[in-house]
Amino acid sequence: MLPLATPDALLRPAIMTPWQLWHMISRRERCILFGGWLFSLLLSLGLGVLSVADNWSGMPLQFGGVTVYITVYPALLISLWWSLCLGWWWGAVQGYLTTLALALYAGMVWQWAALFAFADPLGVAVMVLGFRALPMLRGLRSMDSVLHFVQLSFVGSIFSSSGALIWTYCNNQPFSELLPIWQGWWLGFFLQNLFLVGPVLSQSWPATDRWLSRHLALQPAGEAESRHLIVLLLVLVSVGALVYGYLSLSLGSSLLLGQLQHGLPPQIHHAAMVMTQTGWVFFWVFALLVLFNAFFAYRLFLHWQGRNQQLLDALQQSNAHLAQLVRLDGLTGLLNRRSGDEVLQQEWLRSQRSGQQAVLIMLDIDHFKQVNDEYGHDVGDQVIVQVAMLLQEHLRLHDTAIRYGGEEFLLVLPDSTLENATLLAETLRQQMAARLVHASQADIMVTLSLGVASASLLMADKAAWLKQADMALYQAKRAGRNRVVVAG
């Protein structure tokens, strides 16, 4: 079976958890990698404390008619980088520990903090899954990969924004105030992904990729695994879109209802405007998602189609190769007896149909048993190969040489005369008698006996034609070998 060509883009590093990788790399690399990981954990914690203390999560931005307060959370960005480069665990553990520590530091009860800390690893998981489902290059150097990254960032941000719901619930914030907090949360994740993680990933990916290829075995993406992951991804994308739509509309409506309860007409007007604009934003995001899904489905179709074509090509190649092998004799490369018989039958029928003469030369190496006995089987094989080469040197385009038995050959010469064929047989005899076969102990000379028979309309079938050639060969042997006998 010929190996399948696997395009690089379909290769992905084997998944390695931190503890698996620990055993695979040198001591020095372990220090660098795990030291770097610990350092970035501390960096995450430090930046996280700063973000809470300095209240970074409050950059106001107008979005969909609402002033949202963009969440800036460096720990999430660092954890995302690790997860996208090395695998989910690498960033998830770090992100979880950092968020947990910060939530406890901010006074959240530990049960809620434990749940709250899952939000970011959840968003990161969606992104990592997306990159496994469609193994796009993470260097983000092509339009495809950038679009993929944008879409995954959006879906990831929706999942990670579940943290906002827990946060507001724990802080007893009224439901009607949740919209700007939630929007700031997911939009913060999304924008930071696009403008910080994306560029850093793109810059660091070539070196990371080189390191991964040196250390981890690249595996072709399994068909079934890819299919399952893609289906899962599409489900998550759809759930993300639904959650986004539901939260936008329900939080927007509760904001509107809240304002209505206060009975302030100008604010009612404003809230109604917000509601409308949010509806529009929802519409456009939804439309984008549909387009992205179509893009996904298109990529998927191309991917599977390409894969199937590759398999079919490889199958055809190996079938052709096998068919060739079945027809040929392994030692000489001439046609073997089975396929030789088919050619013989075809030429017999053609000569019977057209009345054109066809001639058969049957030849046999003289005293070949002695060659084997004296010089060994390997030398015997060399002699057989030499005879085959001699035959091929004299063949016309439409002639056929067949290894018919151990040291017995057939030449089928369509559209030839008995005279020409006899001349050819004589040439072969002389040239073989003059040729030296180089064996390790000595140079050997062998001779050939040849029987020539032309197909006649009087013959009953091809077996009769073959028998004539065989009898002529027998006579040549009987008459002392190293000669040509013409049948009839």
Ligand X SMILES: Nc1nc2c(ncn2[C@@H]2O[C@H](COP(=O)(O)OP(=O)(O)OP(=O)(O)O)[C@@H](O)[C@H]2O)c(=O)[nH]1
Q: Cβ of residue 447: shortest distance to ligand X, in angstroms?
A: 9
Residue (304 or 368) nearer to ligand X, CB = 368
- Residue 244 sits at the vertex; the CA angle it makes with 239 and 148, to the nearest 5 degrees, is 70
Q: Near ligand X by CB under 6 A, which window of 254-262, 267-275, 353-361, 379-387? A: 379-387
Q: Cβ of residue 343: shortest distance to ligand X, in angstroms?
A: 21
Binder of ligand X out of 406, 438, 442, 445 (CB under 6 A): 406
Q: Near ligand X by CB under 6 A, which window of 37-45, 360-368, 425-433, 459-467? A: 360-368
Place of tokens 């079934």: 224
Q: Cβ of residue 390: shortest distance to ligand X, in angstroms?
A: 16
Residue (56 or 368) nearer to ligand X, CB = 368
Q: Should residue 329 be labelled a site residue for ligand X when binding is judged by CB under 6 A?
A: no
Q: Near ligand X by CB under 6 A, which window of 42-50, 144-152, 366-374, 426-434? A: 366-374
Beta bridge partners of 454: 359
Place of tokens 């079919």: 312
SS3 content of the chain, % helix, strand, coil (to 5): 70, 10, 20
Pairing of strands 448-454, 358-365: antiparallel
Q: In the numeric block, which tokens belong to residue 87?
A: 């695998």
Q: Cβ of residue 369: shortest distance to ligand X, in angstroms?
A: 3
Binder of ligand X out of 368, 394, 435, 463 (CB under 6 A): 368
Nearest position to ligand X, beta carbon: 406
Q: Should residue 380 be labelled a site residue for ligand X when binding is judged by CB under 6 A?
A: yes
d(CA 1, CA 315): 8
Number of residues that bind ligand X (CB under 6 A): 15
d(CA 335, CA 121): 66
In angstroms and rounded to an integer, the radius of gyration of the C-alpha atoms of the chain is 40
Residue (133 or 448) nearer to ligand X, CB = 448
Binder of ligand X out of 384, 425, 476, 487 (CB under 6 A): 384
Helix (H, G, I), strand (E, B) or coil at 219: strand
Q: Mention every residue, 6+ apart, whose C-beta is less than 8 A from residue 425.
A: 361, 363, 450, 452, 484
Binder of ligand X out of 190, 407, 411, 448 (CB under 6 A): 407
Helix (H, G, I), strand (E, B) or coil at 293: helix
Positions in 466-485 near ligand X (CB under 6 A): 477, 481
Helix (H, G, I), strand (E, B) or coil at 368: helix
Q: Cβ of residue 405: shortest distance to ligand X, in angstroms?
A: 7
Asked if residue 51 lies in contact with residue 64, where contact means CB atoms within 8 angstroms, the answer is no
Helices and strands (H, E) in the chain, number of each type? 17, 11
Q: Would you tell me which residues interact with ligand X (CB under 6 A)?
A: 364-369, 372, 377, 380-381, 384, 406-407, 477, 481
